C-alpha cells in the first residue's frame, strides 16, 4: 500500500494520526546575554525547548524560563556532555520523537532547524549533523582543531562527516538510545559520532550558518588534546 492510499484510509476511518513531537535541548553555562533570543527563536520550530543550566552563576536559568523554556539545573558544573545527557534524557521522558541539540551562546541559527529536519526525512537518516563552513569567519584555533579532528576521525574511526565537533544536530529518540554517551565534557561530540559509526546508524550532514562572537567559549588546544586521548581510549580500551 503506497503512502498516499494509506493517508486516505486513515482519514476515511477517522483515525487521528499521532503528531510528531520535536524537542530542542540547549546546554547553557553563564549565557544570560544570548539565551533569551536563542530560546525564543528555537520555539518557533519545535514543540518544547529544554534548557539545562549547568550551574550558571548568572541569570541564565531565570531568563530561559521567562522566555518559555523548561529549565533543568545542575547545582554543580558537570560539563557539556553531562548537560546534554540530562536534557536528552528529559526529552525521552516527555515522549519526544526527535531531539535537536544546539548551543545556548547564539552561535547556531535556529532558522536552520527546518533544513536539518528536511535532510533527516529525505535521507531517512538516524542523525543529521550541522556542518559549519571552515572559512575566514571561523576563529583560527577552531578551524585548525576542526580540520585536525576531521582527518583524525576519518583515519581512525572511518567517520564520514567533515565537521566532527558540531553541537548542532538532530536525531531520533531511538537513535539517542543507541548513541547515549559517557563523556561529561567536550569529548561528547566525538563520542556521539563514534557510537553512531559503531552501531551502524545512518548519519549525514547539512550546512549551517554560524555566528562567532568575541570571547565566545569553546574548545581550547588543551581540550583538543583531551578529546583526542578520549577518542583513542574509546577505540582501544572498550
Residue 3 forms part of a structural domain: no
- Structural domain boundaries, residue 136: 20-236
pLDDT score recorded for residue 226 = 62
Per-residue cell: 194:
563514534
Residue of 3 and 196 predicted with greater confidence: 196
Q: Which grid cell sits at 168?
A: 548542532
* 223 falls within a domain: yes
Q: What is the pLDDT of residues 35-50, one digit of tens each?
A: 999 999 999 999 999 9
* DSSP structure class, residue 111: G
Q: 93, exposed or middle or buried, with CB in 10 Å at 0-12, 13-18, 19+?
A: exposed
The per-residue pLDDT for 113 is: 98
For Cα atoms 124, 129, 134, give the angle at the middle one, nearest 5 degrees: 140
For 173-232, the pLDDT digits (tens) are 999 999 999 999 888 988 999 899 889 999 999 999 887 665 555 555 555 556 556 656
**79 contacts: CB under 8 Å, gap ≥ 6:** 54, 184, 185, 186
Q: Between 151 and 77, whose confidence is greater?
A: 77
- Taking residue 198's Cβ as centre, other Cβ atoms within 10 Å add up to 15
**Whole-angstrom Cα Rg for the chain:** 18
Kindly state whether residue 8 falls inside one of the protein's structural domains: no
Is 174 part of any domain?
yes
Q: What is the pLDDT of residue 82?
A: 97
- 104 within domain boundaries: yes
Sequence-distant (6+) residues with CB within 8 A of 81 are 181, 182, 183, 184, 185, 186, 187, 188, 191
Q: Let me know if residue 10 belongs to a domain.
A: no
Is the pLDDT higher at 10 or at 238?
A: 238
- Number of domain units in the chain: 1
In a domain, 4, yes or no: no
Could you tell me the pTM of the whole model?
0.78
State how far the Cα of 228 lies from the Cα of 71, in Å rounded to an integer: 32
Q: Residue 139 sits in a domain of what CATH number?
A: 3.90.550.10
83 lies in some domain? yes
> E strands of 151-238, at which residues?
169-172, 203-207
What are the tens digits of pLDDT across the range 163-175? 888 899 999 999 9
Amino acid at each position: 500500500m503506497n503512502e498516499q492510499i494509506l493517508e486516505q484510509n486513515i482519514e476515511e476511518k477517522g483515525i487521528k494520526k499521532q503528531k510528531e513531537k520535536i524537542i530542542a535541548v540547549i546546554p547553557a553555562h553563564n549565557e544570560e546575554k544570548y539565551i533569551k533570543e536563542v530560546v525564543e527563536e528555537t520555539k518557533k520550530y519545535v514543540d518544547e525547548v529544554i534548557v539545562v543550566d549547568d550551574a550558571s552563576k548568572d541569570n541564565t536559568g531565570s531568563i530561559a524560563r521567562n522566555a518559555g523554556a523548561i529549565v533543568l539545573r545542575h547545582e554543580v558544573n558537570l560539563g557539556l556532555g553531562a548537560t546534554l545527557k540530562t536534557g536528552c534524557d528529559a526529552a525521552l521522558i516527555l515522549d519526544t520523537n526527535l531531539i535537536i541539540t544546539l548551543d545556548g551562546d547564539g552561535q547556531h541559527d535556529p532558522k536552520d532547524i527546518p533544513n536539518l529536519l528536511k535532510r533527516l526525512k529525505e535521507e531517512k537518516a538516524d542523525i543529521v549533523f550541522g556542518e559549519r563552513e571552515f572559512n575566514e569567519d571561523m576563529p583560527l584555533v577552531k578551524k585548525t582543531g576542526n580540520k585536525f579532528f576531521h582527518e583524525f576521525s576519518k583515519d581512525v574511526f572511518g567517520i564520514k562527516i567533515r565537521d566532527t565537533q558540531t553541537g548542532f544536530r538532530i536525531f531520533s529518540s531511538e537513535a539517542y538510545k543507541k548513541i547515549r554517551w559517557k563523556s561529561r565534557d567536550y569529548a561528547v561530540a566525538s563520542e556521539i559520532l563514534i557510537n553512531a559509526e559503531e552501531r551502524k546508524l545512518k548519519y549525514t550532514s547539512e550546512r549551517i550558518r554560524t555566528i562567532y562572537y568575541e570571547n565566545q567559549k569553546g574548545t581550547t588546544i588543551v581540550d583538543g588534546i583531551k578529546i583526542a586521548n578520549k577518542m583513542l581510549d574509546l577505540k582501544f580500551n572498550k
